[in-house]
Structure 1
Amino acid sequence: MAVKIGINGFGRIGRMVFQAICDQGLLGSKLDVVGVVDMSTDAEYFAYQMKYATLCGALVTLLYVTGPVMIAGFQVLQVFGWKGCPEDSVHGKFKHDVKIGEKDELIVNGHKIKCIQASREGPKALPWKDMEVKYVIESTGLFVEYEKAVGHIEAGAEKVIISAPGKGNLKTLVCGVNHTEYDKAAPGSLALLLPSAVYLLVQNVLVLVLGQSKANHHVVSNASCTTNCLAPICHVLLKEGVGIEKGLMTTIHAYTATQKTVDGVSAKDWRGGRAAACNIIPSATGAAKAVGEVLPSTKGKLTGMAFRVPTPDVSVVDLTFTAEKDTSIQEIDSLLKAASGSYMKGVLSYTDEELVSMDFVHNVNSSIYDSKATLQNNLPGEKRFFKVVSWYDNEWGYSNRVVDLLMHMIRHTDTGSLNRRRQEKAEDSQCPWSVILRSCSISSLLLHVFRLQRSPSPSPSAKFCSLVEVAMAVKIGINGFGRIGRMVFQAICDQGLLGSKLDVVGVVDMSTDAEYFAYQMKYDTVHGQFKHDVKIGEKDELIVNGNKIKQLGSVVLLSQDMGVKYVIESTGLFVEYEKAVGHIEAGAEKVIISAPGKGNLKTLVCGVNHTEYDKAANHHVVSNASCTTNCLAPICHVLLKEGVGIEKGLMTTIHAYTATQKTVDGVSAKDWRGGRAAACNIIPSATGAAKAVGEVLPSTKGKLTGMAFRVPTPDVSVVDLTFTAEKDTSIQEIDSLLKAASGSYMKGVLSYTDEELVSMDFVHNVNSSIYDSKATLQNNLPGEKRFFKVVSWYDNEWGYSNRVVDLLMHMISA
């Protein structure tokens, strides 16, 4: 006979759970969903929410603009019925028959479902007894504590599944990992016989006196979507003997309904109150630690953090860990692939294709391991330090696990054997000491949370180096007037160098239309309006602050005919020495490549190794490295200089999209993922930025490797470096060293913040690297003093372009 189910909370997860019940063919056959609870009881609106989804892909702008506006109360955006090929990013309509019945009643596939008004008194006031509900899915996100969720039991239900991380004396179960630990005869039966206040007192006494208690299995948690992604990976690594000595996790997570469309109030989580659709937002998460609840051998070994990014669905876990035995990427790939086809099938999946986030929308698995994105540290002989990457649809995959757990519990529960308490709710509430006993919950004993107080952030940094006077303005040419070429020119203007120290006589690009160049300079979507005077001169000529600049279509003309001494090479096309040296052949004296260089050239990063520039040596063509290397290298420089050291490290940069990416899916034969739509995807990408630190800090050579996730923000990126120090240290010491350096020898290159900031707060920041002390993590393994995650921000356009100008001025004055 179908078991009667109630769903408390019909938001994102509540609706997804209901759809999963329908899609799995359980509605009416095994499960009878008799009631759903939310703030509204409008069955017509419930039907509307269920029946219609929103197009992504080509209509991603509609999703970003319209979708979040609907979050107030109920969010209309839905993930329903995806049936496309892996490359389609489209959500379709609800596949089942939905009708409106009598007042406050939905009829789905012929089954009647009552729409119930949420009660101010919480779960204990819901009509589960009268409706004969046996199981409740608690998906409001409000009643995650045992003391609150148990109200459903008081109201007449037998079991409760919380679709979120639970708190208090309850069992956490993750399907495919520890779901078999569910005990139908766990001490939940005692709770059904005693008044809840008495039972809570008994439990708290056991905890306080004995230091432990057996969890109750009548209220269980399905953990978080992130734990459901990470735990299966860890389970396989442990089961197959690879082991996990310690690990630090980052999840790049889609925004959720709890976030804000525009900056709003969020008193407990300041960063969480910032606009979700245009920011990378660091966030705390207990998802990694929670793995220890379902895999006890990992307890204390895993810690993590999240970056919320502007995608509506699908997230990705990035775990950097040390294995307990020597292994390889190939072995890890093989073990996870084998597990995904056998004992982890339906929970863990495996891909070796070049996929991006929208390819995993409506994927039913908890975790999809990405073999293409996994990394091994390339230190010679290193066989234990890895970065593994796994995707998850944080709505659909997770909701299917809630249903799987529900069905597992039903199969393993003899509901007739439970001597259920049938007391009226009023009896318990009338007990004169019930309020006092309820206040004895474990959580109430934690009255004070002490937080390390950090010093205020330093004042805005000045120029990182003092420049000697240049007697006469040096003639400069800029080859490539795209994002970086224009930003370099603006930095020259903003620093007051145009006409005084530098004479930019020509810029080269595909077009020579001065009027269009003026338009591009004057208006910028990210950085705002150009602050300087721009006029159109003679044919193909710009006049900026009275200085004439020729618009050219030929590199030869730039150098030979105009007396150019220094060229900023910012096309991205001539990064090899053999190509860039063509500027020298054309008459220039020096070339700065505003990108990672290739071949026989010197890489210089301001504030790190710029003093190694030798005018007399073969330093005619130099590279300013990448924006990411310019962010990471200053952090590494301080750690090395101050004696902390870096034994080994794996880096991830969560990077804003760039001009080379596609607005919609397009052709990219060399980088398949790079050809996918930038504005709606999290896109893994290769980067040599971490390895390149070895070029400017030789002692790190071979110790650092990294990868990138491109996300839908137009500017500002963030480096996440997980590393092992060469000596015992602490977060406090690392903070102190980086703060001191940012105010002294690294001033103007490295900055420091201890405020709750998000990516848009760093737009137009002139520093190469802004260390975020609030986001730094230390692995919490007892006695662990060498395993850390440090986080630093960078405006990948403006900060970097200012360093190109700084390097130019250093070379001129050397």
Structure 2
Amino acid sequence: MLHFSPFLVLNCCQFLQVSSVKLQSAFLGVAVSGESSSLQLRKSHTRCINSIKATATQVPTSVPKSSTGGKKTRVGINGFGRIGRLVLRIATFRDDIEVVAVNDPFIDSKYMAYMLKYDSTHGVFKGTIKVVDESTLEINGKQIKVSSQRYSNGLLLVNNIYTFITFEMSSRLFDPKHQLWLVLRDPTTIPWGDFGADYVVESSGVFTTLDKASAHKKGGAKKVVISAPSADAPMFVVGVNETTYKPSMDVVSNASCTTNCLAPLAKVVHEEFGIVEGLMTTVHATTATQKTVDGPSMKDWRGGRGAAQNIIPSSTGAAKAVGKVLPELNGKLTGMAFRVPTANVSVVDLTCRLEKSASYEDVKAAIKYASEGPMQGILGYTDEDVVSNDFVGDCRSSIFDAKAGIGLSSSFVKLVSWYDNEWGYRFQPSIGPHRAYGVGGGSFQLKGKMVIFIGESDSVELNQCFDVGSDGLPLLGTSFGNKGYMNNQKEKKKKDPPTHIHPWRSLPFSIHQPFFSPSSSTLQSTTFIPISTHSIAGEVSIYLFGCYRFWGVFFCTVEFFLFGKSHACRVHSIKATATQAPPAVPKSGTSGKTRVGINGFGRIGRLVLRIASFRDDIEVVAVNDPFIDSKYMAYMLKYDSTHGLFKGTIKVVDESTLEINGKQIKVTSQRDPATIPWGDFGADFVVESSGVFTTLDKASAHKKGGAKKVVISAPSADAPMFVVGVNETTYKPSMDIVSNASCTTNCLAPLAKVVHEEFGIVEGLMTTVHATTATQKTVDGPSMKDWRGGRGAAQNIIPSSTGAAKAVGKVLPELNGKLTGMAFRVPTANVSVVDLTCRLEKKASYEDVKAAIKYASEGPLQGILGYTDEDVVSNDFVGDSRSSIFDAKAGIGLSASFVKLVSWYDNEWGYSNRVLDLIEHMALVAASN
């Protein structure tokens, strides 16, 4: 029985171990992911296992252990950040790579050992670590040299005066041009050659250009892999364009983790259906460059805001970079990012217009086929109710989430794909030792043995490479099953006539000169044409060196831009003083206040009471909640973790009475709304905020207790729906029960209204990156209606369905059927953001769209729709009473008819203001009749 163990699992596995036959090739199309450490073949019979979870505690199951004693690839690592550490973790359990040295100017050997041993995301290192001395670590019994080269004597130009800097002087220098503190680090002084490191993983995040990264070669390195996007180095994404690598390329870029997620997905969709244009958002986990609390970040002002508290918009070149690895998509993709406070795993959200008509089911089928066939190990597929933490330790570049995406029409789709931006990214094989000797090659089975052959001629006949004999193993590397990358390439070639001659360059792999020259006598046992070098399994080891990558990253997706100070005037927030209604909503013209009761003292019920207690047009006269007594009600009103202390006075009069700001409010605890005596309390309007009685029939029960009108503070399946500023003028006095829609609909609808009236929306797909809500779980727990919703809110990015976008069609009938969307729940306490990608009927630049929204925000929709062109993050909108605040800097215009629009909303405070505004509007209509 032959045992196969793939090298560099899932992503273009390059290592084939057959007894003593070891093959290393750039494109051994292994598609193995699983819980088995090997694949076993009995002749042509195969067994495949799906899904590998690589925990940093042991060698991933797909990484083989050498039995040949072959020469290892010797690697150095520059920069011991997230990338450098995980590259070392992975490499130490592999027998094909040997890390011989690590350089970091800020970390000594003792601290390096500590950082390697303990990892908050990937767990405790299970190997052995020993500090030998200041310059040596011993990991799993093997010594690694440690250096800290960072200083070099030289001249620093400051204010046109050259200052001589020496090793002994301060390590930090001020750069007046960019207003940045720099640290002198000189990669030319790192003696990679003395350490025996042929390849360097450049993971410091500093030396990311050809010129800067080439400095490692002066220290003896032969090849450099930049574990970040590069402005000028050749860029490769395994499974997408790695076949274009040339041995002359000494410095290459691994692109970003986001590009590695998006590119395989885009490749499949484009090849099957054609991508006309696409706009991407990545909801990205926190990275090492972010701040724990607000701090300086000159290049990216938003990036300096506290990572744990905020949703932070960020620029990213990840989508544009797809055009570098897939030239046919150049100029067709762009995107942006939202940084959210999760420790690891990010998700790509691609909204694109297709050239060929296709249902969402068609798109899913194409991606699933690719994930099980040509892209197996690179692109994954899931139709389960997964959340971000389910992909921690997943080695694949991109895992498509079939349940999370949406197809609005036959040519307009939203696709969602996950990626472990740390572990998966680091597992991608990088360009490695490339012996520049191109030959043909193949494999077959002979008398129970595996035969590998290499031809020095520049052509190989197809029938000598594929399916030789009835029990023959197919083309080199495809014997890992019939779903691998190589097998797909082979099948394409097999469509040619059997006698067709393929130049070696057109074969789906590159094989290079072996290190031995055996005699050709053994070829007499075959009937194939003579070839100069070969080996029979069990007799001679063959080493074929091809492309592979040492992955690691310091800046995963961020491409930094220097933002200048804006001279534009910001339209300031209407902060949550609740002292007046927004300008768009008139105050009561009735002789007295509108008297209101509240059923349900959750987030919305409490905030409605907070706001109403400072308004002079509304008076809350009673609150009902069957689970909260008056004392606890007073406590919950007084203290709020998000909105702070209540500024008024609260007094518990007795079990059934509270006194707020000197006015008494009755407290009841009835479970049946029909038994709540609203009439006795004088409550004409009831805010139904329990979340239970959301239909016309259920909410009508309040009328039995004396209420005249009911406003449901949630979407309703059958009640008339209103969004203040959009369609409240269509309210009729005969409507006794209405819905205030959802907070997300209240954000999206005003924005959609302006854009549609000005330019026409042909179709649009929305994503809301939504703060945690009260229905979510602190830790994993039961949630029968929404399985994903039962997962721990604080640890995960959680996809969720939402009818918010479709509901816009109810308040704006002209948009019915033109909008839909989904949500990502993220672990922030408050404030959410809408991301609307839409196709416009009339051509308009992004500047035109911004101008129209700004005009509306200062005119007809003032107080409802806001506008900002500053570097804001989510916490800047806590307490903002507007429904929607358009973020001019965060959006993107890809073409004259394809735009991404971003708008913020305080999903608690802003929405609660609208509940009271709608009540007051209804009261005014009643008074005028």
TM bin (shorter chain): 0.7 to 0.9
1:122-176 CA distances to partner (integer Å, 9 max, x unpaired)? 21111012223211000000010111001011222111000000122x2101111
Whole-Å separation in 1 of the counterparts to 2:512 and 2:186: 26
- Residue in structure 2 matching 1:231, options 263, 283, 294: 263
* Matching residue's letter, 2:422: E
Q: In the alignment, is residue 145 of structure 1 matched against residue 209 of structure 2?
A: yes
Whole-Å separation in 2 of the counterparts to 1:540 and 1:407: 79
Q: What residue in structure 2 maps to residue 62 of structure 1?
A: none
- Aligned 1:193-212 pairs, distance under 5 A: none
Q: CA deviation at 1:665?
A: 0.3
Residues 460, 161 of structure 1: alpha-carbon distance in 2 compared, 3 angstrom cutoff? closer
Among all aligned residue pairs of Structure 1 and Structure 2, give the percentage whose two residues are the same amino acid. 50
Q: What residue in structure 2 maps to residue 797 of structure 1?
A: 908
* Matching residue's letter, 1:45: Y
- Residue in structure 2 matching 1:275, options 302, 306, 309: 306
Give the 3-state SS of the residue equivalent to 1:671 in structure 2: coil
Residues 460, 760 of structure 1: alpha-carbon distance in 2 compared, 3 angstrom cutoff? closer
Give the 3-state SS of the residue equivalent to 1:653 in structure 2: strand
Q: What residue in structure 1 maps to residue 231 of structure 2?
A: 167
- Residue in structure 2 matching 1:602, options 699, 709, 720: 720
* Matching residue's letter, 2:425: Y
Residues 551, 412 of structure 1: alpha-carbon distance in 2 compared, 3 angstrom cutoff? farther
Give the 3-state SS of the residue equivalent to 1:680 in structure 2: coil
Q: CA deviation at 1:108?
A: 1.4
Whole-Å separation in 2 of the counterparts to 1:150 and 1:350: 38
Q: What residue in structure 2 maps to residue 384 of structure 1?
A: 411
- Aligned 1:168-567 pairs, distance under 5 A: 168=232, 170-184=233-247, 186=248, 217-239=249-271, 241-377=272-408, 382-401=409-428, 403-406=429-432, 455-460=568-573, 462-494=582-614, 496-497=615-616, 501-554=617-670, 555=673, 556-567=675-686
* Matching residue's letter, 1:787: F
Q: More helix per residue: 1 or 2? A: 1
- Contact 1:454 1:754 (8 Å CA) reproduced: no
* Matching residue's letter, 1:320: T
- In terms of Rg, which structure is larger? 2
- Contact 1:541 1:550 (8 Å CA) reproduced: yes
Whole-Å separation in 2 of the counterparts to 1:646 and 1:116: 59
Whole-Å separation in 2 of the counterparts to 1:473 and 1:740: 33
Q: CA deviation at 1:344?
A: 1.1
1:56-104 CA distances to partner (integer Å, 9 max, x unpaired)? xxxxxxxxxxxxxxxxxxxxxxx43xxxxxxxxxxx3212222222332
Whole-Å separation in 1 of the counterparts to 2:187 and 2:884: 49
Q: What residue in structure 1 maps to residue 899 of structure 2?
A: 788
* Matching residue's letter, 1:491: I
- Contact 2:360 2:410 (8 Å CA) reproduced: no
- Aligned 1:623-638 pairs, distance under 5 A: 623-638=739-754
Residues 455, 45 of structure 1: alpha-carbon distance in 2 compared, 3 angstrom cutoff? closer
Whole-Å separation in 1 of the counterparts to 2:573 and 2:117: 52
Q: What residue in structure 1 maps to residue 765 of structure 2?
A: 650
Q: What residue in structure 2 maps to residue 587 of structure 1?
A: 706
Residues 255, 759 of structure 1: alpha-carbon distance in 2 compared, 3 angstrom cutoff? same
Q: CA deviation at 1:596?
A: 0.4
* Matching residue's letter, 1:644: F
- Contact 1:477 1:558 (8 Å CA) reproduced: no
Q: What residue in structure 1 maps to residue 87 of structure 2?
A: 17
Residues 318, 450 of structure 1: alpha-carbon distance in 2 compared, 3 angstrom cutoff? closer
* Matching residue's letter, 1:172: M
> What are the ranges of 5 or more consecutive residues in structure 1 without an aligned counterpart?
55-78, 81-91, 187-216, 417-447
Give the 3-state SS of the residue equivalent to 1:373 in structure 2: coil
1:703-723 CA distances to partner (integer Å, 9 max, x unpaired)? 001000000001000000000
Q: CA deviation at 1:621?
A: 0.3
Q: What RMSD over aligned residues (CA atoms) do the two structures have, in Å?
A: 1.9
Q: CA deviation at 1:807?
A: 0.6
Q: What residue in structure 2 maps to residue 48 of structure 1?
A: 114
- Contact 1:506 1:558 (8 Å CA) reproduced: no
- Contact 1:364 1:396 (8 Å CA) reproduced: yes
Give the 3-state SS of the residue equivalent to 1:101 in structure 2: strand
Q: CA deviation at 1:459?
A: 4.6
1:177-203 CA distances to partner (integer Å, 9 max, x unpaired)? 11111111x3xxxxxxxxxxxxxxxxx
Q: What residue in structure 2 maps to residue 190 of structure 1?
A: none
Residues 273, 451 of structure 1: alpha-carbon distance in 2 compared, 3 angstrom cutoff? closer
Give the 3-state SS of the residue equivalent to 2:414 in structure 1: strand
* Matching residue's letter, 1:326: S
Q: CA deviation at 1:491?
A: 1.3
- Aligned 1:732-811 pairs, distance under 5 A: 732-779=847-894, 784-811=895-922
Q: CA deviation at 1:748?
A: 0.7
1:356-380 CA distances to partner (integer Å, 9 max, x unpaired)? 0011001111111100111011xxx
Give the 3-state SS of the residue equivalent to 2:113 in structure 1: helix
Q: In the alignment, is residue 117 of structure 1 matched against residue 148 of structure 2?
A: yes
Whole-Å separation in 1 of the counterparts to 2:744 and 2:314: 22
1:409-462 CA distances to partner (integer Å, 9 max, x unpaired)? 99967799xxxxxxxxxxxxxxxxxxxxxxxxxxxxxxx999897731225554
Q: What residue in structure 1 maps to residue 77 of structure 2?
A: 7
- Contact 2:350 2:416 (8 Å CA) reproduced: yes
Whole-Å separation in 1 of the counterparts to 2:435 and 2:818: 48
Give the 3-state SS of the residue equivalent to 2:654 in structure 1: coil
* Matching residue's letter, 1:804: V
* Matching residue's letter, 2:254: N
Q: CA deviation at 1:470?
A: 2.1
Give the 3-state SS of the residue equivalent to 1:176 in structure 2: coil
* Matching residue's letter, 2:278: G
* Matching residue's letter, 2:239: G
* Matching residue's letter, 2:570: S
Q: CA deviation at 1:49?
A: 1.2
Give the 3-state SS of the residue equivalent to 2:225 in structure 1: strand
Q: More deviation in 403-412 or 644-653?
A: 403-412
Whole-Å separation in 2 of the counterparts to 1:370 and 1:705: 17
Give the 3-state SS of the residue equivalent to 1:800 in structure 2: helix
Whole-Å separation in 2 of the counterparts to 1:414 and 1:156: 23
With structure 2 as the length reference, what TM-score do the two structures score?
A: 0.73
Residues 350, 512 of structure 1: alpha-carbon distance in 2 compared, 3 angstrom cutoff? closer
Q: More deviation in 340-349 or 670-679?
A: 340-349
Q: What residue in structure 1 maps to residue 730 of structure 2?
A: 612
Residues 484, 49 of structure 1: alpha-carbon distance in 2 compared, 3 angstrom cutoff? same
Q: What residue in structure 2 maps to residue 705 of structure 1?
A: 820
Q: CA deviation at 1:338?
A: 1.5
Whole-Å separation in 1 of the counterparts to 2:720 and 2:433: 63
* Matching residue's letter, 1:646: I
Give the 3-state SS of the residue equivalent to 2:418 in structure 1: strand
Q: In the alignment, is residue 98 of structure 1 matched against residue 98 of structure 2?
A: no
* Matching residue's letter, 1:271: R
Q: What residue in structure 2 maps to residue 421 of structure 1?
A: none
- Contact 1:373 1:684 (8 Å CA) reproduced: yes
* Matching residue's letter, 1:747: Q
Give the 3-state SS of the residue equivalent to 2:745 in structure 1: helix
1:743-770 CA distances to partner (integer Å, 9 max, x unpaired)? 1110110111000000000000010000
With structure 1 as the length reference, what TM-score do the two structures score?
A: 0.83
Give the 3-state SS of the residue equivalent to 1:506 in structure 2: strand
Residues 414, 452 of structure 1: alpha-carbon distance in 2 compared, 3 angstrom cutoff? farther
Q: What residue in structure 2 maps to residue 57 of structure 1?
A: none
Whole-Å separation in 1 of the counterparts to 2:566 and 2:783: 48
